[in-house]
Amino acid sequence: MVQKYTAFNFGGAGKKRKKRQKVSSEYQRKYNTKLRADELQLLILGNFREGYHLVLGYPKGNEKCTYRESDENLKRFLDRVRRRCKKAGKEFKFIAITERGKRKEALHHHMVIPNDPELLELIRQQWGSGHIHISTMYEDGAYRELAEYLVKVETKEEAEKGKAKYHRSRNLRKPEVRRMVSNEKLRDDPVIPKGYELVKDSFVSGFHEGLGIRYQRYMVRDLRPCPQKPKLKKPHKFSLLNGIKRLFGRRNRANGS
């Protein structure tokens, strides 16, 4: 991701910096939510392109379960899947969050996983607490809507703290974020370096009300092929029988000479 900002004294050399405007708590809350959506969007783009978006639901009669109990149940479920994957030598990547529905207030979980049918089948087996709704993710909008949906606080118990807590595996690759401050006017079209391409629908340009500066944000994807790891020669298999044969062969050659 590339983030560009104009300097506070943008507009002419020798001009004083603009004073920072005092922002309201509501604006700060929205801005913090936006930053969390940025972080989640990068994680999805870097690890779950065209993966699966799952909704894990509970059967009827589970209304007495509290949000905290449901979130603890999600943690236990993730631990079970993690152990099965480790035993099978499979990598387990995920992002998961607990949510309460707006209309029926039914507790459920959202989960993002890679496009791996074997992992999907394992999750089916380990959930066993209700239904699973599966949808394939598409890169339209660079997954921005999905990221904003997952971090919204309206249907989360963490709303009082101004954030929505989500769970993620530690093995997620975090894309690089490059921030630049410019003393010149920002271009209408971003400059894409050679060997990269602009991620569709990722370009955003606007004005930061709190700081009083203009900004741009966009994402680029590396098109260069990943360097292949050199193939290592397989180690020679040693067996006791082969060792004895080589030993006697050397002795016979020595006696014959």
For residue 220, what are its two tokens?
């680029």
Domain annotation covers residue 103: yes
Q: Count Cβ atoms within 10 A of the Cβ of residue 96 and give its class: 0-12 exposed, 13-18 middle, 19 or more buried.
A: buried
For residue 135, what are its two tokens?
């949808």
Domain annotation covers residue 254: no
Domain annotation covers residue 237: no
Domain annotation covers residue 247: no
Decide if 163 contacts 28 (C-beta within 8 A).
no
Residue with the bigger pLDDT between 93 and 141: it is 93
Decide if 202 contacts 219 (C-beta within 8 A).
yes
In which domain, by residue range, is 216 found? Answer: 2-222
- State the Cα angle at 132 between 126 and 133, rounded to 5°: 150
DSSP 80-116: HHHHHHHHHT-----EEEEEE-SSS--EEEEEEE-S-
The pLDDT of residue 230: 46
Greatest CA span in the chain, whole angstroms? Answer: 97
Residue with the bigger pLDDT between 179 and 232: it is 179
State mean pLDDT over 75-84: 95
> Residue 197 carries which side chain, given as an amino acid letter?
E
Domain annotation covers residue 251: no
The pLDDT of residue 91: 93
Domain annotation covers residue 159: yes
The pLDDT of residue 236: 47
List, for residues 137-187, the tens digit of each pLDDT value.
877 777 888 888 888 765 555 544 445 578 999 999 887 777 777 766 777
Query: How much of the chain, in percent, has pLDDT values that exceed 90?
Result: 24
Q: Which of 17, 96, 108 is nearest to 60 (CA)?
A: 108
Domain annotation covers residue 243: no
The pLDDT of residue 73: 92
Is the pLDDT assigned to residue 115 strictly greater than 90? yes
> pTM score, two decimals?
0.69
**Which residues on adjacent β-strands are paired with residue 135?**
53
- Residue that has been written with the tokens 């290592």 in this structure: 232
Q: What are phi and psi of 244, to 5 degrees?
A: -65, -40
What's the domain count of the chain? 1
Domain annotation covers residue 212: yes
State mean pLDDT over 179-202: 76
Cβ neighbours for 130, distance < 8 A, ≥ 6 positions apart: 56, 57, 58, 59, 62
Is the pLDDT assigned to residue 27 strictly greater than 80? no
